[in-house]
Amino acid sequence: MKTADFLHVLDREGRLLADAAEQAGTDAKVPTCPGWQVTDLLRHMGTVHRWAAAFVAEGHASYQPAPEPPALDGTALITWFCEGHRQLVDTLTADEPDVRCWHFLPAPSPLAFWARRQAHETTIHRLDAEAARGGTPTEIDPAFAADGIDELLLGFHARSKSRARSPEPRVLRVRATDADDAVWTVRLSDEPPAAVRGGTGEADCEIAGPVALIYPALWNRLPYPTVQGDATVATLWREKSAVT
């Protein structure tokens, strides 16, 4: 996917998140984020969007902490979230492709990184807002979902801080049933997971299903569609793979 594609998703998902939050009400509980209300979700995302935009707009060359969110609620909080989302989309859309700034996963460029990362961040939390609202969640494009699995398995969990580890070597396979090339193999050990795109070799456990369901399931937003083999490996992933 191209940066423009991620920006389109980011724009759409932020607006969907705001709509779901407004329908749910800011005091509604978020079942996919235990202990959170929609207020917490909006404060988190409004802060993250402003934090991400600042790296690109101000060219920060090193990590900068996120600001504290304001003590807003209700309509004022939704408006504040929408302003931050619009600021992020406009910043990423207007900036030069060769802008240099800090980012934390491999990417063709910092701009490409932030567009991709914020598109996925916003999509996952849009699902949270829709869970608080109730009803059928908005569908996720399969190509975008596959990219999100790539980012999670080959990006986040390739880092030394990943907690997805096993005292005994295990192999987890992730297989999309609706796309021929959407298969991942994750080797778990006492080191950070080693994931590759592809499905060669034996696996102790396989998580399978439509890619648009596997993507949020790996982010612990939905149950796994199906699990075959040693289910304790899938349970280990759910318990250890949270990204904070």
Tokens 């402003």 label which residue?
50
Q: Which of 64-68, 149-153, 224-228 has the lowest mean pLDDT?
A: 64-68
Alpha carbons 149 and 183: distance in angstroms, whole number: 10
The more confidently predicted of residues 66 and 97 is 66
Do 3-133 and 152-240 share a fold?
A: no
| Average pLDDT value for the chain | 96
Residue 244 — pLDDT band, cuts 50, 70, 90?
confident
Strand pairing partners for 188?
170
The predicted model scores a pTM of 0.95
Which among 126, 148, 133 has a CA at the least distance from the CA of 42? 126
Alpha carbons 40 and 107: distance in angstroms, whole number: 30
The pLDDT assigned to 95 comes to 76
- Calculate mean pLDDT across residues 61-89: 96
pLDDT tens column, 168-221 = 999 999 999 998 889 999 999 999 999 999 988 899 999 999 999 999 999 999
Domain boundaries, the chain: 3-133, 152-240
Give percent helix, percent strand, percent coil of the chain, each to the nearest 5: 50, 10, 40
What CATH class has 3-133?
Answer: mainly alpha
pLDDT value at 21 more than 90: yes
pLDDT tens column, 98-126 = 899 999 999 999 999 999 999 999 999 99
Q: Which CATH number does 152-240 carry?
A: 3.30.1050.10
